[in-house]
A and B are shown apart, each in its own frame.
Chain A
Amino acid sequence: MNHLAAIQVIIPLLCAPLCMLLRWRTGAWLIATLATWATFGVSLVLARTVILNGAITYDMGGWPAPWGISYHVDILSAFVVLIVSGVAALTLAFAYKSVQREIRPESLRAFYALLLICLAGLLGIALTGDAFNIYVFLEISSLSAYALIGMGQRRRALRAAFQYLIMGTIGATFILIGIGLLYSLTGTLNIQDLASRVEMIPTSTYGNHTLITAFAFLTVGLSLKLALFPLHLWLPNAYTYAPSVVTIFLAATATKVAVYMLLRFSFCILGQRFVFEQLTLGNILLLPSLAAILVASLVAIFQYDIKRMLAYSSIAQIGYMTLGISLNSHAGLSAGILHMFNHALMKGALFMVMGAVAYRTGSVYLSDFRGLGRRMPWTMAAFVFGGLSLMGVPLTAGFISKWILLQATLEAGWWPVTAIILLGSLLAVIYIWRVVETAYFNPRHEIEHGTEEAPLSMLLPMWVLIGANIYFGIDTSIPLHMAERAATILMSGGTL
């Protein structure tokens, strides 16, 4: 039972070479799917254990903490792992047909192998209790992500991947520098150890410059990984030109894991008092978050490539998450954490719609959506529901996180911020509406592409996510409970 935390990472990591070794292409998909479903199963058990019994600590290879690498699974980790593995399982189910269409057959096996490695990296980040290990897993997931994005059909995919590579590497290097500075200051890399030693550093008079510089490097590096405004510029290209399946997977998981890292570093290592009261991270995050909500939503309105539009909308949604963090209150944190979950649900579903539309029509420009309301009724209905959730209409998951975020801002008395959140959701109405209008009310496209509905293997995972959007919009007790408990742990410095 205690090996679960390790098994979680090892399954995808070991299945990846298996994919490469097999000659049989469908077999590669089968292995990848089985691996992701197995991790999802493990993450469910893990989440249940953590909810019932509290945090799990697992020492790799039996070496105790300060010397060996230990895995520390608290409720926040379990929550993020649940999101990542759940989305991965659905994405793989969706992937079969879409990948067949979009990826060259000779690189199919490499594709699935990379996807599994990326998954292993993302899971590792969330599970590990060691700061340097976080960096290692970050590189594992990022490198595989660059390669995956580069596999996109259009030549621009290579440029996008290259740009992401540069940016991602700068970000990762900054994070590494930050971790290095922390190590030079404390002499340890274990997160719990780090936390206790940072606490002992006297910060009374002028603050500790090494610590401050370390944190500055960490925040900038993480902001890059998060795609926090104005460091978001790599994201639209990467999401637009990547293969559909990669976009679904990364959009729903990668930025969430980056948010997780930000939470882990600022609350668990440096401590909420230092980060928020002394360095006022809240104030510094606030402006980029608000700018992200407004600017990215406005830019999204003017996009013609719908995948790109959704990418900009993701930047805005990340703004909601960091806004929740910047509030520095229990309610704000719960809202931010819950929005990680809900955003994964809605963006996963919306990008799946993009994948299905691309499968039938070849591209996802606004003009391709003309008449789709009649030709692909189930797919477009999924888009409508996903869009409703994105706007934050009641009875959808999006409403819950927006409601809690509103409550948190009102609690803090930030009226202008409340207004901006509401304005942001009105802007979301506009950009979602453009697509719905084109799909349902415009005359058909002159060129008849495929005239059929997407295949069932795509519709099923898509509608599972839509169902989850609606289910968690009505009965939100499980994710909300986890988010609230995670927020409690973070506010108390990660010691519970």
Chain B
Amino acid sequence: MLSTKLLYIPGVVLILTGIPLAFFPAWLRRSIIITLPPLLLLHMWTFSGGDIHVTWLGYKLTLLHLSSTGLLFASVFMFALWAGSLFALQDASPLELGSAFIYAGGAIGICLCADWITLFCYWELMALSSTLIVWCGKQQDSWRAGLRYLLIHLAGGVALLAGIGALAAAGGSLELGRLAPGGYAYWLILAGILLNAGAPPFSFWVADAYPQASPSGMVFLSAFTTKTAVFVLITAFAGANVLIPIGIYMAIYGIIYALLEQDIRRILAYSIVNQVGFMLVAVGVGTPDTLNGAQAHAVAHILYKMVLLMGAGVIMRSLGTTKARELGGALWHKMPWTTACILVGAAASMGVPFTSSFVTKSVVLSGLADAGMGFVWVLMLVCSATVVFNAGGRFPWLALFAPTATSAATSKVDAPKVTDPKGLALFAMLAGALLCLVIGWFPQSLYSALPHTAIYQPYTFGHILEQVQILAVAGALFWLTRRVLYPSASITLDTDWFLRVAVLRTWQWFSSGLATSYAKSIELLTSSQMRSYMLIFILHGPRGILARSWYTGSIALWVAVMLASYIILYNLNAIPGLNVLQQLLGR
């Protein structure tokens, strides 16, 4: 039976529980959230039933296929869902939790399916449910940012669908796998996926929408959308060289915009773009080493970014703001556990030895060097060093240690609710931080889960020395320039300016122009002869808005015109050699 088989698919189970989750009584929701993700994780690793197929419209769809890459991503997604929803239980709305389950179900579904049509279904589901999460943020700009986010992702979905359609029309296999370069299908699908990865020129949506979510909402958002895109890129576009410049752009963009940002959660959002750019470069180079590295780094990145965002979420819950200028200077002694977790996460983000991204970044960088990409290697080295200027150094400094800009902020810190989180939320944060360290200590356990077998030794004297030099120089520069780069109360223009200002202005200009020209043409139509014609039908009088008022007689006139033109066209076409319309249409 297919319906029972569907319950073997973790993504489907999550989606099916996510839909009613918002309506369940609190105790039931709580127990589902605590137990279901670990059970599904266990199920994924022990399942041995083989692939699940269905036939739909004559296409063979593979709903479940456990590849090593997919399993790795799905597992870390499942952990992110678990930790994120434990963190969220404290104050997230039921709707947000339900949406998060559907959202994670979509992401996990994509990792464990093996054809483009199923992927597209999950893809759209992710777009919708993640928009709901943004709206659940209920901040000042959540609503509009969510709309912009939805608009962009729906457009991306259309590109993806068109690409899949083209793939099917060209008779290509719809199995999820490496796509042959060239053709409409390839570029449309690539465009649709890249949009979700936060590629230029739409990189702005990450920092535009994510920080508008609730403290816990952003934890979910940061984990799934961009990393799912990375997963699909690894599966279908490994070695596509066009990804290298795009990734470099994203990596540098993320650094620069984070430096100009005053909101600590937006800094983290830009840091996501920066790190995804790093992964894109690795995928673009496409050697087994860099692909391994991209996957390992995606895992590490999801984990440490989750910890950092939970830290930022704790600050937001206690102070109600995340603008650096409004945070009190000495938060660190008010919330020691949070501080510890943020510091672990920050160390992991910079790649301090014995943390997660030290062991994963080195795989990428050495892979780049081995592939003979000297220039790219240098750029990526700089990018990984400058992480100190966003997630690694600047974020904890601004969040916890920097002296405050206003005295009003200092008094806020003394409020009694400014404390560490308790219970499950604290557990979730600690678990994330612990995983960042465990991966750093036991890298071989992560390496063994990677698809391409190879032996990596991160802990050599040379490598540690190299990383220490990089961090020392970058850290020293950060410390020296920290005051010059102290954020001002401002925003930075991005390509979303076109969406938010230019398009709106053009539309206003266009619609006012349209209105005048329309009024003029109506004037023309209702004058002289036209008016006398319409007098016959004065019986029916004008009604309501001009644009919609059509006289019965004028419709009859249309009918006559149509009839005449049809007769002429048919006759023209019936004469051989005079096939006018066909030539007009160029067919």
Contacts and interface: CB of A to CB of B under 8 A. Distances in A.
State yes or no: do A and B touch (Cβ within 8 Å). Answer: yes
Given A167-B559, A441-B143, 14 more contacts: A167-B555, A207-B571, A212-B571, A220-B563, A220-B566, A231-B558, A279-B573, A394-B121, A395-B121, A403-B57, A406-B161, A419-B162, A426-B155, A476-B57
B559 A224 contact: yes
Contact of A212 (B540, B550, B574): B574
Given A156-B543, A426-B154, A426-B158, A209 B169 contact: no
Interface string A272-298: 000000111001101000000000000
A212 B567 contact: yes
Interface in A372-410: 393-395, 400, 403-404, 406-407, 410
B171 to A, nearest CB: 10
B569 A207 contact: no
A480 interface: yes
Interface stretch (A68-76, A158-166, A488-496): A158-166
Interface stretch (B222-230, B280-288, B303-311, B578-586): B578-586
Interface residues of A, number: 53
A425 B162 CA distance: 12
B573 A280 contact: yes
Interface in B536-562: 540, 543, 548, 550, 552, 555-556, 558-559, 562
Contact of B563 (A216, A236, A406, A426): A216
19 contacts: A167-B555, A203-B574, A207-B571, A231-B559, A233-B555, A278-B573, A279-B573, A283-B581, A283-B582, A284-B566, A284-B569, A284-B570, A403-B165, A406-B161, A407-B169, A411-B169, A418-B165, A426-B158, A429-B154
Contact of B166 (A156, A159, A231, A410): A410
Contacts of B543: 156, 159
Interface of A: 156, 159, 162-163, 166-167, 170-171, 174, 203, 206-207, 209, 212-213, 215-217, 219-220, 223-224, 230-231, 233-234, 236, 278-280, 283-284, 286, 393-395, 400, 403-404, 406-407, 410-411, 415, 418-419, 422, 425-426, 429, 441, 476, 480
Contacts of A219: 566
A203 B571 CA distance: 12
Contact of A410 (B117, B165, B575): B165
Contacts of B556: 166-167, 170
A39 B479 CA distance: 82
Contacts of A206: 574-575
Contact of A283 (B56, B165, B550, B587): B587
A213 B574 CA distance: 12
Contact of A393 (B124, B162, B558, B579): B124
Q: Which 9 A-B pairs have the closest CB atoms?
A: A207-B574, A410-B169, A394-B121, A216-B566, A216-B567, A406-B165, A220-B563, A233-B550, A212-B570
A284 B574 contact: no
Nearest to B581: A283
A390 to B, nearest CB: 14
B182 to A, nearest CB: 16
B120 interface: yes
Given A159-B543, A209-B571, A418 B162 contact: yes
Contacts of B574: 203, 206-207, 212, 278-279
* Interface size classification for chain B: 35 or more
Contacts of B124: 393-394
Contact of B555 (A156, A234, A404, A406): A234
A35 to B, nearest CB: 34
Nearest to A395: B121
B105 to A, nearest CB: 13
A326 B154 CA distance: 28
B504 to A, nearest CB: 15
Contacts of B158: 422, 425-426
A286 B563 CA distance: 16
Contacts of B256: none
Contacts of A395: 121
Contacts of B562: 220, 223, 230-231
Given A220-B559, A278-B574, A236 B548 contact: yes
A400 B563 contact: no
B166 A233 contact: no
B319 interface: no
A219 B568 CA distance: 13
A162 B579 CA distance: 40
B571 A400 contact: no
Contacts of B566: 216, 219-220, 284
A311 to B, nearest CB: 11
B168 interface: yes
B571 A170 contact: no
Contacts of A400: 57
B317 to A, nearest CB: 24
A426 B153 CA distance: 12
B165 A407 contact: yes
A143 to B, nearest CB: 17
Contacts of B166: 410
